[in-house]
Amino acid sequence: MYVRGIRGAITVEHNEESEILDATSELLKTIITENEVKPEDICSVFVTVTHDITATFPARTIRQMNGWELVPLMCSLEIDVPGSLPKCIRLMVQINTTKQQNEMQHVYLNEATKLRPDLKSS
């Protein structure tokens, strides 16, 4: 058994609560579907946002998902680097798995596909 990290990112168009929560949910659901992950396999989820996302905590939507009540979550602010991708939500999902690192399916949606063109995106 290994602890593996799965990266993901998505952008929103507006700093609005419902859009942020919907985007976070879409990103996490895509990650867990692509990687066949169950909540009990999750070690923790790190959630980061760019400085222009302030309307809500993205982790709120994860806490409301069935079966995710006990998964440790943490939100943080990305480093504000000039020229970096705006309005971006990133997830680092750490899982317990027997899969190899190269079997992890990283997910980049919307404008976030620009972040890691070298990784398979959904």
- CATH number for position 65: 3.30.1330.40
**What pLDDT sits at residue 117?**
78
**In degrees to the nearest 10, what's the CA dihedral of 59, 62, 68, 71?**
-20
Give the CA dihedral 67, 38, 116, 75, nearest 10 degrees.
30
CB 122 within 8 A of CB 34: yes
pLDDT by residue for the chain (122 residues), tens only, comes to: 899 999 999 999 999 999 999 999 999 999 999 999 999 999 999 999 999 999 999 999 999 999 999 999 999 999 999 999 999 999 999 999 999 999 999 999 999 998 887 775 44
Is 60 labelled a binding residue? no
Query: Does a structural domain hold residue 119?
Result: no
Provide the number of structural domains found in the chain. Answer: 1
- List residues with catalytic annotation: 7, 63, 75, 78, 90, 108, 116
Q: Amino acid identity of 1?
A: M
Give DSSP secondary structure letters for 59-93: HHHHHTSTT-TTS-EEEEEPP--TTPPSSEEEEEE
pLDDT score, position 59: 94
Please check whether residue 122 lies inside any domain of the structure: no
Domain assignment present for 121: no
Using the structure block, give the residue that is written with the tokens 């066949």. Answer: 36
Q: Which domain holds residue 92?
A: 2-114
Q: Is 108 annotated as a binding residue?
A: yes
Quote the pLDDT of residue 116.
83
38 is a domain residue: yes
pLDDT value of position 122:
46
